Amino acid sequence: MRYVKWTFWAILALIIGLFLNYTLPQQEVVRVVGTYQERQDLNDWTRIFWATPDDQSGTLANRDVQFIQAIRPNGRPMVYRNEDTGWSWPPYFKFDTASLQTEAEDLKSTSDAPKWAVITHYGWRNELLSSFPNAVAIRAVAGPDVRIIPWFNIVFLIFLLVVGVLLYRMWLQFRERMVDPALEDLGEIYDAAGTRVDAVRKGARGTFGRFGAWLDTWRTKR
Amino acid sequence: MIGFTRVILFWAVAGTIAYFVLRIYGRSLRREALEKSWDANPPPGADAVTRAAFIEKGMADYEGSLRNRLLVIVVVLPFIVIAVLLYLMNYA
């Protein structure tokens, strides 16, 4: 039973961790080398890795998606998609895809004369599933060694922790003030019922006693 | 527009639920504190009636307190956050 419990909590923590890792913004220093636009099929389960820019796009079988090609400081490639999130999940409220594409275009550079930029994005790059992180912002930086402090994530995770502690405290208060007194009342009712059963048992000894006890069952009890 | 309406409705409902849950929680904390302060130091000649009156008086004061009123922020906060995010994401 203990293993079941720990497995349950471990899986729950893993799911929450992965969810946050996918959804929260991450920043990465890259060098933009190009942008392109490609028609994407959206009619299988990998649909979950694409955004829903507007209400119509939820039912489309395919649509054009913009991409930003980049090289990381270690020389490895990274490709971002550039899609509106609109009003849907995740709540980035991003509507400036075209502007972002223009900014990325403006920061394009070659390895001979590199221009470095920080791309803020969410999501995962997975070659097997053809999933791409969605770029949400880009800004030019001096070099690949800039120090990035994820202020938003710090504030958000602290907020999440505070909410979690608050909910736990609320539950404790609810149990102390509402559940425990109700259980105590219930216990008293059970105790009273037990005493009554004992009294009936005591009265039901011998033939007449038993008859009297049977008669007694027809009387109203207080 | 449907997406916009959905976001507004969702956060209005979530904010309202959070508001009422926090109100109940705040009241429960205050009531417990009042009970404890009375029980720790009951005035001479105190009985259940004066205790109940003391607690009801304290709760009535709490209802009008700034802390209780400020809880309305919970309803407004999601919309402020959404507005700030919209600005930062698209115009900053």
**pLDDT of A222 higher than 70:** no
Spell out the domain ranges in chain B.
2-90
Q: What is the model's pLDDT at position A51?
A: 87
- 38-57 in chain A: CB under 8 A from chain B: 54-55
Interchain pair A93, B32: CB under 8 A: no
Chain A contact set for B1 (CB, 8 A): 55
Interchain pair A96, B7: CB under 8 A: no
Q: Which residue ranges form the domains of chain A, and what is each CATH number?
A: 2-147 (2.40.50), 157-216 (no CATH)
Residue B53: which H helix or E strand, with range? Answer: helix B48-63
Mean pLDDT along residues A33-46: 90
For B83, name the nearest residue in chain A, comparing CA atoms only. Answer: A93
Helix (H, G, I), strand (E, B) or coil at A30: strand
Instruction: Assess contact for B45 and B28: CB atoms under 8 A.
Output: no
Taking the CA of residue A134 and the nearest CA in chain B, the distance in Å comes to 13
- The burial class, CB within 10 Å (0-12 / 13-18 / 19+), for A65 is buried
Residue of A157, A86, A93 whose CA lies nearest to B84: A93
Chain B contact set for A91 (CB, 8 A): 7, 82, 85
Greatest distance between any 2 Cα atoms in chain B: 68
- Alpha-carbon distance values, A166 to A13, A44, A51 (Å): 19, 40, 32
pLDDT in tens, A136-184: 999 999 988 899 999 999 999 999 999 999 999 999 999 888 888 888 8
Residue of B67, B39, B66 whose CA lies nearest to B52: B39
Residue A113: which H helix or E strand, with range? Answer: none
**pLDDT of A196 higher than 80:** no
Q: What is the model's pLDDT at position A209?
A: 74
pLDDT in tens, A91-123: 999 999 999 999 999 999 998 999 999 999 999
The ipTM (two decimal places) reads: 0.83
Residue, of A169 and A218, whose pLDDT is higher: A169
Q: What is the model's pLDDT at position B25?
A: 93
pLDDT in tens, B52-64: 888 899 899 888 8
Token digits for A163? 């909410």
Q: What is the mean pLDDT of each run of 10 residues along chain B (92 residues)?
A: 88 94 92 89 82 89 87 93 92 82
**pLDDT of A134 higher than 80:** yes
**Bridge-based pairing state of the strands A77-82 and A116-122:** unpaired
B71: which residues sit within 8 A by CB, 6+ positions away? B19, B22, B23, B26
Chain B contact set for A164 (CB, 8 A): none
Give the other-Cβ count within 10 Å of A210's Cβ. Answer: 12
Taking the C-alpha atoms of residue B79 and residue B75, their distance in angstroms, rounded to an integer, is 8
Interchain pair B85, A55: CB under 8 A: no
Residue of B10, B24, B25 to mutate when probing chain A, most A C-beta within 10 A: B25
